[in-house]
Amino acid sequence: MMQKNMLVVDDDEDIREMIGTYFTREGYKVCFASDGKEGLELAKQNNYAIILLDVMMPQMDGYTMLANLRLFSDTPVILLTAKGEQMSKVKGFTKGCDDYLVKPFDFAELSLRIQAILKRVNDVVIKEEPNILIVKDLKIDLEGHSVKKNGIELELTSKEYKILRILASNRGRVYSTKMLYEIIWKEPFLENDNSVITHMRNLRDKIGDKVKDSRYIRTIWGTGYKIEKED
């Protein structure tokens, strides 16, 4: 079973350590950030199964990080806070959190809530992913591993196809160069590696896309790439 990545964003070092110890034993790879600004940067560069997010933090609070996160990611988020007031919960759900837990919390309960969220997300992915993805005049055949434009099959390499499939299967979500590389090449990304950029350029040439006036793949400067959600 593939190890799941978890991001814990909390300015309390003791909380981070306790969560890390517990969920490492549960089989998660746990990453940490001490404020919302650092957490947001990590979320842009990495693919997490779940994010545990404190509300009251320096630099950038949890609500602000969550609002910014939702501009490019649908990663499930559980807010962790000492505030139990109803308005705090309402604000959290309004900003886009998936669940809300008040400190001090029981780790077994938190684990069950995470499992429930991940099962729900996985069920949606399984039920909703069709055999054919349509992006304007592109038809992506997930079983045949082929792409047609206006009925004409395009000669894409395996990695070009995988880049297009990932973005088309997760419309609206931004994938960084690092994320795409590690998903497709299945090895750690090196900062000076231009493999993804080269394959992206070739892919765009083949599907007839432009960087400045994109019909398909939008470049989010300093962050990554995405295909917009359907209107």
pLDDT value at residue 45: 84
Question: Minimal CA–CA distance to 227: which of 148, 142, 136?
Answer: 136
Distance (Å, whole) CA 105 – CA 82: 10
Q: Where are the domains of the chain?
A: 4-127, 132-227
- Tell me what percent of the residues of the chain surpass a pLDDT of 90: 47
pLDDT at 125 over 80: no
Categorize the per-residue pLDDT at 84 as very low, low, confident or very high, splitting at 50, 70 and 90.
Answer: low
pLDDT at 123 over 80: no
C-alpha 90: how far from its chain's center? Answer: 24
**Mean pLDDT confidence for 213-220:** 88
Does the fold of domain 132-227 match that of domain 4-127? Answer: no
- CB neighbour list of residue 21: distance below 8 Å, 6 or more residues apart: none
pLDDT at 2 over 90: no
45-66 residue pLDDT tens: 888 999 999 998 988 999 999 9
CA-to-CA dists, residue 75 to 64, 65, 178, angstroms: 15, 13, 17
pLDDT value at residue 1: 43
6-42 residue pLDDT tens: 999 999 999 999 999 999 999 999 999 999 999 999 9
**Mean pLDDT confidence for 173-200:** 88
pLDDT at 173 over 90: no
CATH number at 132-227: 1.10.10.10
Q: Which fold has domain 4-127?
A: Rossmann fold (3.40.50)
User: Who wins on pLDDT, 57 or 122?
Assistant: 57
**Mean pLDDT confidence for 168-180:** 88
72-81 residue pLDDT tens: 888 899 999 8
pLDDT at 211 over 50: yes
Distance (Å, whole) CA 149 – CA 188: 33
pLDDT value at residue 126: 47
User: Who wins on pLDDT, 159 or 88?
Assistant: 159
